[in-house]
Every structure is written in structure tokens, then in C-alpha cells.
Amino acid sequence: MARRGPSPQKRAADRRKRRRLAAVVLERLGERYERPAWAGPRVDTVSELILTILSQNTADTNSFRAFTALRQRYSNWDEVLAAPTDELEDVIRPGGLAPTKSRRIQHVLAEVHEATAGTWDLSFLGTMPLEETREWLISLPGIGRKTASIILLFGFGRPAMPVDTHVHRVTTRLGMLPPRTPLARAHDLLEEVLEPDEMYPFHVETIRHGRDTCRAPRPICGLCPLTDACAYYVLAAKGKAPMAPVPKGPAEDGPPRYHDQLIHGWMPPHRGVIRADPSD
């Protein structure tokens, strides 16, 4: 006998619960992280695509080195596409998995070159119907739901909710997501309870909270403003789940972190991003 899923009443109740928790997150983490607002793209869309490929399964500093080496070696995307694959592999080797990533980068660039008739202009992603745009991005080699959502939200300000490991951890601990929810399903469950203009602040606030406070494997619950709404804290307070002690001494107060750092771990340079034409 086939296993039945949740009843419509249970799904509706779960949706209302996610919405209530989303409102708490937006209010309280918004106060903590100064209510971030999207202010336009910081790098061109092709650079964003290549950055996400280079950042897969590696540390932020390594992907930064690889992208910097790529910019220094090639002056435009046509040169990257035309380069011998083994040469490109050597250039991006600091990013790790260079044999896989070099092929993937050139496959993606070939698709973009064809779709844009060689102009490298992906501005059409800002005007196509949202689902069509998402499907086009996911059809690219090595581009999944999270990366597609990053391109849509950070590159164009479109209502897509990227769910990375930090966002997934924070929302699961709060009880917004059932335990072991697959990433693809997590995107859907969060998107359905967030308004379009809430997705950017919700993503930035939860990713910051996941890095600063709600860490893996032990969150610093003593610094969290969400404990009275958090399912994980109910267990932690009873000694049934681990939590870290509050660090001694004043917290380090560094400069504000912007979304480029949140995605890639570093601020992109003001000059030197590869363009379709080096004279641009």
C-alpha cells in the first residue's frame, strides 16, 4: 500500500508555522544585521556563474585565488572559451578539482556564447518568466537550484531563495523545515512563505546568523535572539542537543559584510572583472 503524504490540513498548518517563524526571523535578525537590502549586482552575471563553479567543494580563499588567476591570464570570456582545456586547468588549479571545473567552465561558457550570440549579455535573465529563467540556468552544466537562485536574487533582484548549508541549518533548527529536508525541497518550502521583497533580507540574515551564531556543529545559543521560537533550543536547554558556551571577552567588531562576501567569502575587486570586450 502506497504511503500517504500529509493531509491538506497538516500542510496548511505547517505552512502557517513556517510563515510565523519567517516573520520572527525577519524582525529579530533584521534588527541584528541592520535589515540588508539588495542594491544591485556587484559582478557581471557570467562572472557570477564562473565564481560559483570555482567555489564548489573548496574554501573561499582557494576560489578567490583561482578567479584572480583567471582574470590575470585572460582578458575576456572568448579567450577563456578558446583556451586549451589543460591550460585552463593549470590556471585555476588553486581552486581545487581543476580537471572537472575547467571542463565545466568551458561547457557553461559555450552555452552562454550560443544563447547570447557571442555578446555574453545575460540581461534577458532579468525579464524572462521566473520559472523559465530558473530552468535555463539549471540546464547549464554544474548549475543547480542554489546557484540558479543566487544568480536570480543577487544578480537581478528577482524573488528566488538560495538555500545553502547555513540557511538550511538555521531554518531546520528553528523548525521551519522538517529534519533531513532535501535542499531542492527546502527551496520550495521557504519560497512559498516569503514575500518577493523578503527573500533577499531573509537569505542574508540567516546566512550571517549561521556563520556568526548558529554554527555547526554547536550553536552559540546564548547569543541568539531566536531561542524562544527555536525548536533546537528546547532540546539544547534540556541537555538533549549540543550548544557552545558564549565566548569570553568582547566580540570582534569588524567591518560590515556584504553579499559578495556572504556568497564567495571575499569582496570582488572594483576593476579587473572579465568583460565580453576588454575595452568595456
Comparing 280 with 158, the larger pLDDT belongs to: 158
pTM of the full predicted structure?
A: 0.87
pLDDT above 50: residue 276: no
pLDDT of residue 166: 93
φ/ψ of 275, rounded to 5, equals -115, 170
Average pLDDT on 90-119 reads 96
Vertex 57 angle, CA 191 and 78, to 5°: 90
Q: Where are the beta strands (DSSP E) in the chain?
A: none
Is pLDDT at 257 greater than 50 in this prediction? yes
**How many Å is the Cα radius of gyration of the chain?**
20
pLDDT at position 273 is 46
pLDDT of residue 277: 41
Q: pLDDT for 177-212, tens place per residue?
A: 999 999 889 999 999 999 999 999 999 999 999 999
Grid cell listed for 244: 557552545
- Are the C-beta atoms of residues 214 and 228 closer than 8 Å to each other? no
- Grid coordinates representing 33 are 544585521
At residue 262 the predicted structure's pLDDT band, cuts being 50, 70 and 90, is low
The CATH number corresponding to 45-156 among 3.40.50.2300, 1.10.340.30, 3.30.390.50, 1.10.275.10 equals: 1.10.340.30
Percent of the chain at pLDDT exceeding 90: 72
Q: Which residue has the cell 531554518?
A: 171
pLDDT in tens, 229-246: 999 999 999 999 999 999
CA distance 34 to 120: 35
Least confident of 2-16, 111-125, 262-276: 262-276
The confidence score (pLDDT) of residue 275 equals: 45
Taking only the tens place, the pLDDT of each residue in 18-74 is 999 999 999 999 999 999 999 888 789 999 899 888 888 877 678 888 998 999 999
User: Within the chain, how many helices (H) and strands (E) appear?
Assistant: 14, 0
Residue 15: per-residue pLDDT: 95
Is the pLDDT reported for residue 270 higher than 90? no
3-state class of 247 per DSSP?
coil
Condensed to tens digits (0 to 9), the pLDDT of residues 212-228 reads 999 999 999 999 999 99
Inform me whether the pLDDT recorded for 1 exceeds 70.
no
pLDDT surpassing 60 at residue 8: yes
Domain ranges of the chain: 9-38+161-243, 45-156
Q: What is the pLDDT of residue 261?
A: 60
User: Domain 9-38+161-243 is of which CATH architecture?
Assistant: Orthogonal Bundle (1.10)
pLDDT digits (tens, 9 = 90+) for 145-158: 999 999 999 999 99
Q: How does DSSP classify residue 76?
A: B
> How confident is the prediction for the chain on average, in pLDDT?
89
